[in-house]
Structure 1
C-alpha cells in the first residue's frame, strides 16, 4: 500500500510534507498510511495571502452572495461523499459514524446557507438588534451594526470529527466574510485534506478564502493581531497553553475554545423501569457510549439516576452493550469501530484506570475483547466500559477526568437537588440531558443546572421519535459551555456568524443610518417616486420611496358593518357605555383590523403589475384609538429589498397610519414579493 504524502494548501499552492514529518497510522490495522509536516511553510505569507486575497474577495460579496456560495459548495461535496467514506473507515469510524461526520458537516453548511439568505440582509453590514431612539424628536439615533473582521480565522480542530469539525466552523466564518486557515488534528487529517482538495477543485471559493495546514502551526499564533480569531477544539490543557500565548494576550486576539466536557444524563424520578422514558434513557446512553467509539465531545460520561434504580440501569446498560459488535468498521455486523489512533487508545485506557481507582467496573473487559474481522491485533480497539460510582459526593476523579472513548459511569442521587449538585460537579459542560415526563422536574433542573451547561436536552415519550439525540449539536443552537467546557460558543445560527464580526455602536441621523445599513430608518427623508411604487419593478424601487395617500373618514356604519360581517362584536366596538368605562378608549372605536383593511385600500394599486403577493405583516402596533368621525391616511415607504430568486425579490415596506390631527394611530411592516421585470 502506498503511503499518502499529505499536502498543505498555502498561498494558492499545494505543498507536500517537509522537514520533521509525522507518521500517521490506520486506526483499524495500525499500518503506516500517511506522512504530514508543515516545516517549509512561511506562516506570515499564509496570513498575508488570506488578508490580501481572501478577505477582500469575501467582503466584496453580500451575505446572500456568500450564502449562495456555501450552498453551491455543500452541494458539490454532497455529490462526492463516497471517496470520503472510504477514507473515514481508516479513522476507525463505521459508516454510521462517518455519516455523522461527513453528512453532518455538509448539512451544517446547508443550514448556514439557508440562514444567510433568510435571516441576514442582502448587504455587507448586519444590523444587530433594534434601533435605539437617543433623542426626543428622533433626529439622533443609535444602531448596533456588525461588520466582518479584517483578519483571518485560525481553526484548530480535533481528531474525532475531521470533516464536521472543519465545516461547522467554516460555514459561519465564510458567511461572515472572513477567510480561514484550517489546522486539523494530524492523526485523522487525511480526511480533512481530501475534503479541502474537493473544495479547491470546485472553483467555488474565492482565492485565499481557505488555506490548510497539515502539521504544526509553527509561529502562526505569534503573528496574529486584534482582527484575527482563533477557534480551538480539543483538550483543556492544550487550550490553556494556546490562549496563554504572549501575542494572543498582548493583541487581544479573540480565542474561542470548545474543550473537555464531563457531560451528564439524568434519569428523572418519574422514569421507572416500566416507562418509555426508562427505555429511552438506556437507548440514548448506550448510543452515546458507542457512537464514534465514544469519541464525542458531547458524549455522556456520567449517568445520574435515582439510588434505587442504579442496579436496574447497570443491568439494562450491560445487556445492551453486550450486543455491540466491535471490529473492522467495514465488516458486516460491526456496530462500533476503533478509536482514532493508538495514542488515543493508550490515553483512554489510562484514564479508565484512573476512574477505576475510585469506581467499580460494572461492564467491560479489555483483556477479553473479541473483534469482528481479521488482522486487527494492532488496531486501536477498546471495550465499552461502564463504571459504578458508589460515593459520588466524595469521589473526585469521576467528576474531573474524561476518558475520551466508550467509557461512562453510573451514580445515584437522593433527590433532585442532589442530582443538580452532581450535574454541576463536572465544572461546566457542553450538554446535559434529562429524561423525564414531569414538567416540574424539567423546570427545577433548568433553574439549578442551566448556569453550568451550554445546552440542556430534555426528552420524553412525546418528543422521542423526532428528537435529534443528546450528543447532536445542531447549527441552529449554541454549541459550547462554561468552565471546563471552555467558556466559548459556536454555531447558534446567526450568532455563530457574528463571532467573526465586530459589533459597533453607530450613532447618527436617520438619513445617515439609512445609508449605512441599507434599510430605511423612520425619520429619514422620503423619496418621491416617479410612479406608484406598486407599478415599479424590484430593480427600479429605491430605499425610501414613499407614497402618501389621501384620507378616509371612518363612520359608525363602517364599524358596525365590519363587526357583523366578521363576527368580531367585542364590546369596545359595539357598546358605548362599556367602551367608555375602559381606560384605553374614549367610547366605541374602530377595529384595528378594520383600519388595516382601510390602509390597504388607500395604498394598493389595483391593476396587475410587478407586485406578486403579500406574504406577511410584522411588528404591528396600535398607538391611538380611532373613533367614528375620525379620518385616517397612510404613508408607505420602501424599507428593505432582498433578492429571493432570479425572478423576484422580497420588498419590506414601512407603513404608518395617521389621523386628521397627524397623530400616529398604527404602524407595521408589510412584506411583498415583487418581480424583477414587468409581466
Structure 2
C-alpha cells in the first residue's frame, strides 16, 4: 500500500518531493503512515520569493491590519480544530496534550491579534520617548522600528507541531515579516494539515508563509543580513546551526530555544498535609506525564528538602500508579507514547547514562502495561523517577536530559543549597518554586533568576488559576540563558521587536514629528478656524492646535475644588503649614489645573467626540498659586483607527492630544496626554 506523501508549500504552490523521502509512523501502532521529503526544492528561490513577494505585501499593511489578519486566521483555524485533533492522535498525544498544542497555538494568534492595540496604525513603530539634544529643543532624537526586509526561517521541534509553528508566525506576521516554516519531520504531518488550512483560508498575503516538511539541509547557505533564524530543539543542534558561516558573516539574528534541565523546588516550609505539598506533587506529575514528558519546559529535576524526600517519593509513586498509559483515543488513558520509536530509543539511552550515577526509585523501563496498544510496536515508555542522594558530586542529572517521562529527585539542606542546585543546570527555560512563605520565594527567585528565563511561584492562593510550570505565555518571554540557548521568544511587544530594525533618527521636532506621524513637543503647530472637537477623525491633522482662553486661579477655586474632591491636603488648605516645603503659599491642586484645562479646551456641544478615553501620562511641573493665569495649547499628537466590531458599530478612532498648560510667563505648569474616542465620517 502506497503511503501518503506530504507536500511542501514553496513559491505560492504545493510541491511534492522528487523522491520518496523519510517514512513517518503512527506513534501508537507503529504503522507507517506518511513519507516526507524535500528533494527538488530550491531553497534560495523560496527565500527570494519571500523577500520579493511576501515582504512587500506585509509591509504595506499597518500593525492594525496585520493584527486583524491574525484574528481572522485564528477564527478560521478554530472552526477546523476537531480535524486537527484526529491527526494529532497519531503523534501519541492525548486530547489534553493536543489541546495545549492546537488550541494553545491558535490562542497565540488571538493574543498577538489583540496586541495590535499597543502599536500605532502605521507600518512602523515609534519606540520610547524623544531625547532632547539641544538647549533650545530645536534638535532632538528619537527611535523608530521598521520591519526587517528579509525572511524569518523557523526551525521547529517535533513535540509541538502546531503550537511551535503558530507561536512563531504570529509574531513575525504582526511585525510584517514573511516566514519559511521547517517543522521537525517526525511530526510534520500535523503541521502540514494546519498549514493547508492557513493557505486555504486566503487570509494572508501571497508569499507570507512557506513550508518545508522534509529536510532543509543547506537552507542557511542562502540567508542574508535582513533575515532572522529561530531554532527550537536540542542544544547541540542549535549550537551547530548558530555557528554557520552565513549566520556569522551576515550578522543574522539567531534566536535559540533549547531543551534544558528545568527544576521544581519544594520550599523548606512545606510539610505533608499542607495544600502546597499537594500542589507540588500534582505539578511534578503533570509535567512528567503531559506529552509523555516531551516538553522543553518539563521538570527534569525535583529539588526537595532532604527530610521530605521519602514523603515526596511515596506521594509521587501513588500518583503515578494511577496514571493509565496507552492508546490516547481511549477515554481512560492519561499518557500516550513518545512521538516515535527513534525518540523512545534515544530516551532509553539517556536513562542508561543517568543510571550510572543514580538509581530508579519509581517505574521500570522494561516492565509496564499499556491499554489498547502493543507496547513494543508503539513508542511507549513509562514514567521513570530517579533518586540522586549526592547531587553535588554525582552531577549527571544536571547535564544529561532524557527527553521523555524521566525526572530525578534531588535532596537539599538549605535554601542556598536549593538555589545552587537549580543553577547547576547551567541555564534553564523555567524553574518553579512551591512555597507558602513569600520570603523564601523572594530569596529563591532573586538567587536563581540569572540562570532562568522564567520562574513560577506556586502557592494555595494562585494554584487554581495558574497555567502551570510548563506553559509559556504569549505575553511573557520564553527562553533562557546558557544551556537553554540564550534566546527569547514571544514576550508580547518584545517578541515583535526581534523582527524590527531599531533606528535612531535626529532632526528638528517638526521634522521628527512628520517622519513619525506623532507630534513632538516643540514642533510647529497650526491652528484652524474650526474647533478640533467639531472635526471627525479623518479631518484632524497631526500638529493641529487649539490655543484656549485663559483663567486666573483664585483661592476660591482651590477651596471649591477641595470641597468637591475631598482632597484637603495641607499644601492646598493651610498656609501656616508650609514651612520646610517647596511651596511659598497655598497651591492649587494638580488635578484642579488639569480639570480647569479641560474646561478651557472642551467644546460643550454634541459633535464627533464620543467620550474621554483616558490619560496616558501627566506631570505637574510648576506650582500654581492664586493670582497666576493659566492657558492651554491642545495639540493633536497621534491618531489610531479602530475596527468596527459589528456592522452596526460606530466607525471611530482614538485621538491622543498633547495638553500643554502654561502660565502668564509662558512656562509649562502641567503636561499631559489625553485620549478621546472620535467618530469617523464613514459609517459604512
Q: Could you say whether these structures have the same fold, taking a TM-score greater than 0.5 normalized by the shorter chain as the test?
A: yes
Q: What SS is found at the alignment partner of 2:538?
A: coil
Asked if structure 2 preserves the Cα contact closer than 8 Å seen for 1:554 and 1:627, the reply is yes
Question: Does 1:97 pair with 2:97?
Answer: yes
Residue deviations 1:172-219 (CA, integer Å, cap 9, x gap): 101110000000000100000011100000000100000001111132
Between the aligned partners of 1:386 and 1:214, the Cα distance in structure 2 is 35
Query: CA separation of 1:252/1:431 partners in 2, compared to 1, >3 Å: closer, same or farther?
Result: same
Query: CA separation of 1:202/1:363 partners in 2, compared to 1, >3 Å: closer, same or farther?
Result: same
Asked if structure 1 preserves the Cα contact closer than 8 Å seen for 2:51 and 2:150, the reply is yes
Partner of 1:23: 23
Partner of 1:612: 610
Pairing 1:509-548 to 2, within 5 Å after superposition: 509-548=508-547
Partner of 1:454: 453
Deviation at 1:645, TM superposition (A): 2.6
Between the aligned partners of 1:372 and 1:141, the Cα distance in structure 2 is 70
Partner of 2:10: 10
Deviation at 1:377, TM superposition (A): 3.2
Between the aligned partners of 1:415 and 1:466, the Cα distance in structure 2 is 29
Residue deviations 1:410-453 (CA, integer Å, cap 9, x gap): 01111011001000000000000000111111111122111000
Partner of 2:151: 152
Residue deviations 1:485-533 (CA, integer Å, cap 9, x gap): 0000000001000101111111111112112212111111112234111
Partner of 1:109: 109
Deviation at 1:143, TM superposition (A): 1.2
Partner of 2:569: 570
Asked if structure 2 preserves the Cα contact closer than 8 Å seen for 1:328 and 1:376, the reply is no
Between the aligned partners of 1:516 and 1:3, the Cα distance in structure 2 is 56
Between the aligned partners of 1:492 and 1:416, the Cα distance in structure 2 is 30
Q: What SS is found at the alignment partner of 2:611?
A: strand
Asked if structure 1 preserves the Cα contact closer than 8 Å seen for 2:536 and 2:680, the reply is yes
Between the aligned partners of 1:281 and 1:251, the Cα distance in structure 2 is 46
Between the aligned partners of 2:479 and 2:136, the Cα distance in structure 1 is 43
Partner of 2:648: none
Asked if structure 1 preserves the Cα contact closer than 8 Å seen for 2:303 and 2:410, the reply is yes
Between the aligned partners of 1:474 and 1:563, the Cα distance in structure 2 is 45
Pairing 1:294-305 to 2, within 5 Å after superposition: 294-305=293-304
**TM-score normalised by the chain length of structure 2:** 0.98
Asked if structure 2 preserves the Cα contact closer than 8 Å seen for 1:294 and 1:406, the reply is yes
Deviation at 1:375, TM superposition (A): 4.3
Deviation at 1:557, TM superposition (A): 1.2
Higher mean displacement: 373-382 or 346-355: 373-382
Deviation at 1:366, TM superposition (A): 2.1
Higher mean displacement: 459-468 or 562-571: 562-571
Pairing 1:582-593 to 2, within 5 Å after superposition: 582-593=580-591
Deviation at 1:2, TM superposition (A): 5.8
Partner of 2:660: 656
Q: What SS is found at the alignment partner of 2:91?
A: coil
Q: What SS is found at the alignment partner of 1:101?
A: helix
Residue deviations 1:274-312 (CA, integer Å, cap 9, x gap): 211110000000000000000000000001000000110
Between the aligned partners of 1:368 and 1:253, the Cα distance in structure 2 is 49
Partner of 2:640: 642
Deviation at 1:663, TM superposition (A): 1.0
Partner of 1:164: 163
Q: What SS is found at the alignment partner of 2:225?
A: coil
Between the aligned partners of 1:678 and 1:223, the Cα distance in structure 2 is 47
Between the aligned partners of 2:492 and 2:528, the Cα distance in structure 1 is 37
Pairing 1:26-425 to 2, within 5 Å after superposition: 26-116=26-116, 118-425=117-424
Deviation at 1:376, TM superposition (A): 4.8
| Ranges in structure 1 where 5+ consecutive residues have no aligned partner | none
Question: Does 1:676 pair with 2:680?
Answer: yes
Between the aligned partners of 1:219 and 1:391, the Cα distance in structure 2 is 45
Between the aligned partners of 1:223 and 1:424, the Cα distance in structure 2 is 38
**Count of paired positions:** 677
Deviation at 1:20, TM superposition (A): 5.8
Between the aligned partners of 2:219 and 2:123, the Cα distance in structure 1 is 29
Between the aligned partners of 2:550 and 2:318, the Cα distance in structure 1 is 77
| Ranges in structure 2 where 5+ consecutive residues have no aligned partner | 645-650
Partner of 1:665: 669
Residue deviations 1:520-569 (CA, integer Å, cap 9, x gap): 11111112234111000011111111100011111111111221232212
Deviation at 1:18, TM superposition (A): 2.1
Partner of 2:434: 435
Residue deviations 1:568-599 (CA, integer Å, cap 9, x gap): 121111111213x1432111111111111110
Q: What SS is found at the alignment partner of 2:675?
A: strand
2:623 to 620, 625, 641: 625
Asked if structure 1 preserves the Cα contact closer than 8 Å seen for 2:29 and 2:373, the reply is no
Between the aligned partners of 1:31 and 1:406, the Cα distance in structure 2 is 23
Output the aligned Cα RMSD. 1.1
Between the aligned partners of 1:84 and 1:576, the Cα distance in structure 2 is 73
Between the aligned partners of 2:551 and 2:197, the Cα distance in structure 1 is 63
Q: What SS is found at the alignment partner of 1:24?
A: strand
Higher mean displacement: 416-425 or 364-373: 364-373
Query: CA separation of 1:352/1:253 partners in 2, compared to 1, >3 Å: closer, same or farther?
Result: same
Higher mean displacement: 196-205 or 517-526: 517-526
Between the aligned partners of 1:574 and 1:602, the Cα distance in structure 2 is 24
Between the aligned partners of 1:121 and 1:15, the Cα distance in structure 2 is 38
Q: What SS is found at the alignment partner of 1:564?
A: helix
Asked if structure 2 preserves the Cα contact closer than 8 Å seen for 1:2 and 1:33, the reply is no
Q: What SS is found at the alignment partner of 1:657?
A: strand
Asked if structure 2 preserves the Cα contact closer than 8 Å seen for 1:338 and 1:380, the reply is yes
